[in-house]
């Protein structure tokens, strides 16, 4: 048996390529939209992808199942659990599509996969037991758990309400998750390998571990939510719902397109280098989002393209920011340093369904062409006078609601940075906005977005010691 984990460090997402080396057949579990890398990995190892399986309708990326389905010979294995609201629509009428319920099995060569209905994160959620029949095994070697069980954590049960807008389902989902964790895992051996769908940095849980895989025995001993689910059901429900991070706005779109369908492209569209005149025309169009890509916040102070939103390219904030500030069908102009950076940004936009990229220009070319730049106003946190700021304007805290509730600057208002576009009407106009988080990272995104919307935004940079303490206590990436 061949088993390989494929990691996307920007979405902290794991897909799995599982193959039978005797027959050369392979299945991909939970692929992302740009499928060429899975095909290349299979070919490099003498395998061909003949099947695709999904654990659930994903919220944080566009599934690659739809791209794979362009080949009618590839078999699709999707959930038939969860009721009519969580039934895949895009695959209806497609040949070689198999809808699975709890206990259903399928073969990929000599590898047996069994669907385990594991609801709670979502109603239709499946996990997949993997058994190497070709190697003579009688017991599963691994369980691909999707967003059911992680290293050190379990899937969050609040997304149907906090991301998809279904009211009143958060607590019932938490109770369902508790029951799933107890009932679906109780009979399994400690040696069972756990293949999670996400790692540290994902918004699909509170405190996911950075170790890529684990075993069920280890998690039984050290996974606090899993242990609580078994010993204190009421405490589990209360704790699993406490402090969950506000999801980026694009999560609602992902739920829809992964259920109903999205346009097939055949791969990531190229990031085209633009002339200054082409870029200037786009930058002057208020319907175009201008994303200035760079990991340094100092560049914002020195000057940036008007209306541009600052997004750090490396790490989880690019997808969270772009997915929260850019509309699904908006055109996008990138300002970045080189073709490699533009290509990386294009792939990250593509993975979250933002297909409006027109092209890119470098900051140097923009300035050499005579394009205007505007400096961002910044105050370093040690130099910040909160009392004076509250008198002169408004302190806007863009941390998570749970962080804000644990402690905040006097007079501050709370709007998490991933929710600003949806709650823009709540942002006071006509006053200077002093925007802070815990370290300056999230605040830089929020300040640039609000400045692009015409607000007088001041970015508070550097460490807020109390905010840092809260973030560390809650194990929040900030």
pLDDT of residue 301: 82
Q: Distance (Å, rounded) from C-alpha 23 to C-alpha 21?
A: 6
pLDDT tens per residue, range 441-456: 999 999 999 999 999 9
pLDDT tens per residue, range 172-197: 999 999 999 999 999 999 999 999 99
pLDDT tens per residue, range 107-134: 999 999 999 999 999 999 999 999 999 9
* Whether the predicted pLDDT of 477 surpasses 70: no
Q: If you average pLDDT over every residue of the chain, what do you get?
A: 94
pLDDT of residue 251: 95
pLDDT of residue 466: 73
User: In 374-474, which ranges are E strands?
Assistant: 377-380, 393-397, 413-414, 432-436, 457-461
Backbone angles phi, psi at 110, to 5 degrees: -105, 20
> What percentage of the chain has pLDDT greater than the value 70?
98
Least confident piece of the model among 184-198, 201-215, 319-333, 374-388? 201-215
Among 390, 386, 460, 457, which residue's Cα sits nearest to residue 420?
Answer: 457
Are 304 and 292 in contact by the 8 Å Cβ rule? The answer is yes
12: left (phi over 0), alpha (psi -120 to 50) or beta: left
Q: Could you give the angle at the alpha carbon of 272 between the alpha carbons of 267 and 278, nearest 5°?
A: 140
User: What mean pLDDT do residues 36-58 have?
Assistant: 98
- Using pLDDT thresholds of 50, 70 and 90, give the confidence band for residue 340: very high
Least confident piece of the model among 57-66, 298-307, 424-433? 298-307
pLDDT of residue 84: 85
Radius of gyration of the chain (CA): 23
Among 9, 470, 346, which residue's Cα sits nearest to residue 201?
Answer: 9
Strand order in the sheet with 432-436: 377-380, 457-461, 432-436, 393-397, 413-414
The span from the first CA to the last CA of the chain, in angstroms, equals 39
The H or E element containing residue 145 is: strand 142-146
* Whether the predicted pLDDT of 478 surpasses 60: no
| DSSP sequence for 295-353 | S-SHHHHH-B-TTEEEE-SSSTHHHHHHHHHS-TT-EEEEEESSHHHHHHHHHHHHHTT
pLDDT of residue 476: 66
pLDDT tens per residue, range 58-111: 999 999 999 999 999 999 999 999 988 889 999 999 999 999 999 999 999 999
- Using pLDDT thresholds of 50, 70 and 90, give the confidence band for residue 474: low
The H or E element containing residue 19 is: strand 13-20
DSSP 274: -
What domains, with CATH codes, occur in the chain? 2-260 (3.60.15.10), 276-368 (3.40.250.10), 378-473 (3.40.250.10)
414 versus 205: the higher-pLDDT residue is 414
Q: Strand, helix or coil at 257?
A: helix
User: What mean pLDDT do residues 308-329 have?
Assistant: 95
Contacts of 239 (CB under 8 A, 6+ apart): 225, 228
Which residue pairs, CB below 8 angstroms and at least 24 apart, start in 35-44? 35/64, 35/67, 35/68, 35/267, 36/267, 37/6, 38/6, 38/64, 41/4, 41/6, 41/17, 42/17
Strand order in the sheet with 105-108: 105-108, 111-117, 126-132, 142-146, 193-196, 214-215
The total of other beta-carbon atoms located within 10 Å of residue 193's CB is 15
What does the longest C-alpha to C-alpha distance in the chain come to?
73
The H or E element containing residue 228 is: helix 224-231
pLDDT tens per residue, range 239-249: 999 989 899 99
* Whether the predicted pLDDT of 163 surpasses 70: yes
What is this structure's pTM?
0.94
pLDDT of residue 356: 96
Beta bridge partner(s), residue 77: 53, 98
pLDDT tens per residue, range 375-395: 999 999 989 999 999 999 999
- Using pLDDT thresholds of 50, 70 and 90, give the confidence band for residue 165: confident
pLDDT of residue 294: 86
Among 472, 314, 307, which residue's Cα sits nearest to residue 403?
Answer: 472
Are 56 and 254 in contact by the 8 Å Cβ rule? The answer is no
pLDDT tens per residue, range 289-301: 999 998 888 877 8
Least confident piece of the model among 160-164, 340-344, 350-354, 408-412? 160-164
């Amino acid at each position: 048996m061949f088993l390989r984990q494929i990691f996307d460090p920007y979405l902290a997402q794991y897909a799995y390529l599982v193959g039978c080396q005797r027959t050369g057949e392979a299945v991909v579990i939970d692929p992302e939209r740009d499928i060429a890398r899975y095909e290349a990995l299979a070919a490099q190892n003498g395998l061909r992808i003949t099947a695709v399986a999904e654990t659930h309708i994903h919220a944080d990326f566009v599934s690659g199942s739809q791209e794979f389905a362009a080949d009618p010979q590839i078999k699709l294995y999707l959930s038939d659990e969860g009721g009519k609201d969580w039934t895949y629509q895009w695959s209806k009428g497609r040949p070689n599509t198999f809808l699975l319920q709890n206990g259903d099995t399928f073969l990929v060569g000599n590898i047996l996969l069994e669907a385990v209905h594991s609801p709670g994160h979502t109603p239709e959620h499946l996990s997949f037991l993997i058994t190497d029949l070709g190697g003579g095994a009688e017991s599963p070697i691994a369980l691909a758990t999707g967003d059911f069980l992680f290293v050190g954590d379990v899937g969050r049960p609040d997304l149907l309400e906090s991301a998809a807008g279904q009211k009143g389902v958060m607590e019932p989902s938490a109770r369902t998750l508790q029951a799933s964790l107890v009932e679906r895992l109780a009979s399994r051996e400690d040696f069972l390998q756990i293949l999670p769908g996400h790692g540290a940095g994902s918004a699909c849980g509170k405190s996911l571990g950075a170790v890529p895989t684990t075993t069920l025995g280890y998690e039984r001993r050290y996974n606090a939510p899993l242990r609580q689910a078994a010993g204190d059901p009421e405490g589990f429900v209360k704790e699993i719902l406490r402090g969950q991070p506000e999801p980026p706005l694009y999560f609602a779109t992902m739920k829809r397109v992964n259920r109903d369908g999205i346009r097939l492209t055949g791969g990531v569209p190229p990031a085209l280098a633009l002339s200054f005149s082409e870029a200037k025309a786009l930058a002057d169009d208020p319907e175009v989002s201008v994303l200035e890509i760079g990991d340094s916040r100092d560049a914002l102070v020195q000057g940036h393209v008007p209306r541009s939103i600052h997004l750090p390219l490396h790490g989880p904030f690019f997808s969270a920011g772009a997915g929260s500030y850019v509309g699904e069908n908006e055109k996008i102009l990138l300002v970045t340093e080189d073709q490699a950076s533009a290509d990386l940004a294009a792939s990250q936009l593509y993975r979250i369904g933002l297909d409006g990229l027109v092209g890119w220009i470098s900051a140097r070319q923009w300035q050499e062409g005579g394009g205007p730049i505007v400096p961002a106003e910044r105050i370093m946190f040690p130099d910040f006078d909160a009392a004076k700021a509250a008198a002169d304007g408004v302190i806007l805290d863009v941390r998570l609601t749970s962080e804000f509730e644990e402690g905040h600057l006097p007079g501050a208002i709370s709007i998490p940075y991933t929710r600003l576009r949806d709650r823009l009407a709540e942002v006071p106009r006509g006053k200077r906005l002093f925007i802070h988080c815990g370290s300056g990272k999230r605040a830089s995104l929020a300040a640039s977005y609000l400045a692009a919307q015409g607000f007088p935004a001041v970015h508070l940079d550097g460490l807020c010691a109390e905010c840092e303490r809260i973030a560390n206590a809650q194990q929040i990436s900030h």
